[in-house]
């Protein structure tokens, strides 16, 4: 297992290098610059600003300098958030994104897997059609449509939940004071989780239907094992392989890439910083978040590959 992890990490290093390099050149080659909006500044002031951020140097030299600092954990200062480094902004936004993203994926996994198993065990029944119909609706309605609707209904009309703030407020916080610290996260978490619930439910259903038709499941049933034991002990383990494959990059994507939801609810997370950095050509901020996202995807894929060996003995991770 250790040798497998080391080999995958060795492959991950050039992958991360390629992602960072491609992002760096695409950002700098895009039209516009971080100081284009400063039309009232004197040319000498603009020149001094570019020199302060090494933007007056040739692109290749900027690239080499950035890589050297990034290898030391220094992502440089932010251009639009003055007097704050990119590392400080990431340290501020990452906990918020982690709290929302991990809560959303946990909710989605619990509900989606349960729905998928239920549908697989009642294949082609009326309840199966209802559950999958709900799942298809969840896939068809993306988060950027669902989030404003939920904000309007629960925040503006019913006034149950707060919007655009992390302060506990609204009718629910007053009715149940113990939920106060968690109330501001309810709408963002649900908005992120619902599409994931739908996808996980369909993946689980398809995988479980296929596994339940395998010969070893028929053998277990022929031996008289209880249906609950057949499903939970024998079928579920193999049926989770596609779900685990999906959850790896999905966790990384939700945690670091909840761009729209964080912007709608005005949450100080990684997604909001990424949007502001891209709009204002804050090269260090965008590249810092890209590095965090790419590293998260690589790590989650490594974890998924290792979990495969635990879920399916036929998969060898020692070689």
Is pLDDT at 241 greater than 70 in this prediction?
yes
Q: Which of 35-49, 96-110, 235-249 is predicted with the least confidence, judged by mean pLDDT?
A: 35-49
Q: Give the CATH class of 90-269.
A: mainly alpha
Q: Which of 50-64, 85-99, 236-250, 256-270 is predicted with the least confidence, judged by mean pLDDT?
A: 256-270
Closest alpha carbon to 98 in 258, 205, 222: 258
**Extents of the domains making up the chain:** 90-269
Is pLDDT at 318 greater than 60 in this prediction?
no
Dump pLDDT digits (tens) for 272-289: 888 888 888 888 898 998
Confidence of residue 303 (pLDDT cuts 50, 70, 90): confident
pLDDT of residue 312: 63
More confident call, 40 vs 168? 168
More confident call, 166 vs 2? 166
102-136 burial, b at 16+ Cβ within 10 Å, e below that, comes to: ebbbebbbebbbebbbbbbbeeeeeebeebbeebe
CA angle, corner 285, sides to 283 and 291, nearest 5?
100
Number of Cβ within a 10 Å radius of residue 87 = 16
Dump pLDDT digits (tens) for 171-191: 887 877 877 778 888 888 888
The C-alpha atoms of residue 306 and residue 169 are separated, in whole angstroms, by 43
pLDDT of residue 110: 92
More confident call, 22 vs 28? 22
pLDDT of residue 173: 78
CA angle, corner 163, sides to 157 and 166, nearest 5?
150
* Average confidence (pLDDT) over 20-44: 78
Dump pLDDT digits (tens) for 113-135: 999 999 998 888 998 889 888 88
Enter the pTM of the model: 0.79
| 123 and 130 Cβ atoms separated by less than 8 Å | no
The residues near 174 (Cβ < 8 Å, ≥ 6 apart) are none
Confidence of residue 270 (pLDDT cuts 50, 70, 90): confident
* Average confidence (pLDDT) over 243-253: 79
Q: Which of 1-15, 21-35, 91-105, 152-166 is predicted with the least confidence, judged by mean pLDDT?
A: 1-15
More confident call, 286 vs 141? 286
The residues near 293 (Cβ < 8 Å, ≥ 6 apart) are 252, 253, 256, 257, 270
Helix (H, G, I), strand (E, B) or coil at 257: helix
pLDDT of residue 196: 87
């Amino acid at each position: 297992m250790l040798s497998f992890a080391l080999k995958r990490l060795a492959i991950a290093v050039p992958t991360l290098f390629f992602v960072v390099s491609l992002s760096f050149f695409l950002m700098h080659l895009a039209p516009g610059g971080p100081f284009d909006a400063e039309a009232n500044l004197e040319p000498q002031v603009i020149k001094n600003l570019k020199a302060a951020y090494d933007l007056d140097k040739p692109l290749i030299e900027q690239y080499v300098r950035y890589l050297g600092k990034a290898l030391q954990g220094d992502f440089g200062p932010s251009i639009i958030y003055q007097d704050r480094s990119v590392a400080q902004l990431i340290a501020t936004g990452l906990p918020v994104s982690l709290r929302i993203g991990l809560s959303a994926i946990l909710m989605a996994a619990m509900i989606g897997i349960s729905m998928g198993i239920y549908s697989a065990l009642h294949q082609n029944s009326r309840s199966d059609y209802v559950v999958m119909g709900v799942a298809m609706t969840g896939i068809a309605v993306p988060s950027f449509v669902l989030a404003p609707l939920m904000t309007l209904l629960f925040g503006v009309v019913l006034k149950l939940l707060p919007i655009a703030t992390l302060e506990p407020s609204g009718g629910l916080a007053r009715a149940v004071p113990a939920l106060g610290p968690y109330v501001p996260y309810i709408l963002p978490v649900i908005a992120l989780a619902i599409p994931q619930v739908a996808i996980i439910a369909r993946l689980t259903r398809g995988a479980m239907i296929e596994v339940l038709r395998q010969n070893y499941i028929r053998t277990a049933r022929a031996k008289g094992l209880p249906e609950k034991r057949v499903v939970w002990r024998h079928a579920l383990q193999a049926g989770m392989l596609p779900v685990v494959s999906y959850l790896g990059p999905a966790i990384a994507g939700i945690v670091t890439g909840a761009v729209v939801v964080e912007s709608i609810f005005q949450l100080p997370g990684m997604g909001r910083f990424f949007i502001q950095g891209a709009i204002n050509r804050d090269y260090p901020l965008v590249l810092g978040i890209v590095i965090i996202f790419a590293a998260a995807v690589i790590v989650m894929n490594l974890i998924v590959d290792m979990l495969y060996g635990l879920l399916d003995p036929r998969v060898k991770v020692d070689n």
